[in-house]
Amino acid sequence: MKKILTLLLSFLLPGIGHISIGRIAVGVAFFLSEVIVANCYAWLVLPFYRAADAFAAPDPAVAWKSSLAIGCFVLLWIGCQAHLVYLLYVRHPDRFMDEKELAFREGLRYYVRDELPEAIRQFERVLSFDPFDRDAYFHLGVCFSRAGRYAKARRRFRKCTELDDDRKWAEEIVDELERIREALKHRKS
């Protein structure tokens, strides 16, 4: 029942369904896109229709702009509905979170067993589910560091630092970066 209500909300006002399931950025993007297209139609097309004679054939340039604006509005609306159906029925958020947590646990398991390529693959899978997961960035950086891929490790640590608002991994990142500096020193010697 909740899914149907979410779809009805989105049917009436594109983007609201996304917001109601927690996909706020996507919902706001769909909503603002529809508002922008509607405003373009209102500002660029409607004044020409009002100024034209009610019984005359519309100017082809105005009719083309009108068709384009309406077409964009409809395509955005259909895209919003299709994406919401995909999220609700194909990639349900609960299953999505379960898969993300499973990939994270698998990544840790492979890391502990020192199977770094497989651990890297699992942590990258976590990031494919949630590109803002600071823990995955940290552990991915550690795996890259242990594998000797220092440039990639630094990039992952930098991204983790950007996302780490409460500085959960700050000390560990400093230690890892120091370890990378030492390894690079020994490599040059």
> pLDDT tens digit string along 124-165?
999 988 888 899 999 999 999 999 899 999 999 999 988 888
pLDDT band at 169 (very low <50, low <70, confident <90, very high): confident
Give the tens place of pLDDT for each residue, 81-133: 888 888 877 766 666 788 889 999 999 999 999 999 999 999 999 998 888 88
* Predicted pLDDT of residue 55: 52
Phi and psi angles of residue 101, each rounded to the nearest 5 degrees, phi first: -65, -40
Q: Which pTM was predicted?
A: 0.56
Clarify whether residues 58 and 121 are in a common domain.
no
Clarify whether residues 75 and 105 are in a common domain.
no
Least confident span in 11-15, 59-63, 99-103, 164-168: 59-63
What is the separation of C-alpha 66 from the centre of its chain, rounded to a whole number of angstroms? 32
Mention every residue, 6+ apart, whose C-beta is less than 8 A from residue 156: 137, 138, 140, 141, 144
**Of the residues 91, 126, 156, the one at which a domain ends:** 91
Query: Position of tokens 């100024």?
Result: 51
Clarify whether residues 98 and 86 are in a common domain.
no
Clarify whether residues 159 and 172 are in a common domain.
yes
Which residue range forms the structural domain that includes residue 143?
A: 94-188
CATH number (domain holding residue 104): 1.25.40.10
- CB of 142 closer than 8 Å to CB of 108: no
How many domains does the structure of the chain reveal? 2
CA–CA dist 124, 130 (Å, integer): 10
Clarify whether residues 14 and 55 are in a common domain.
yes
Clarify whether residues 16 and 77 are in a common domain.
yes
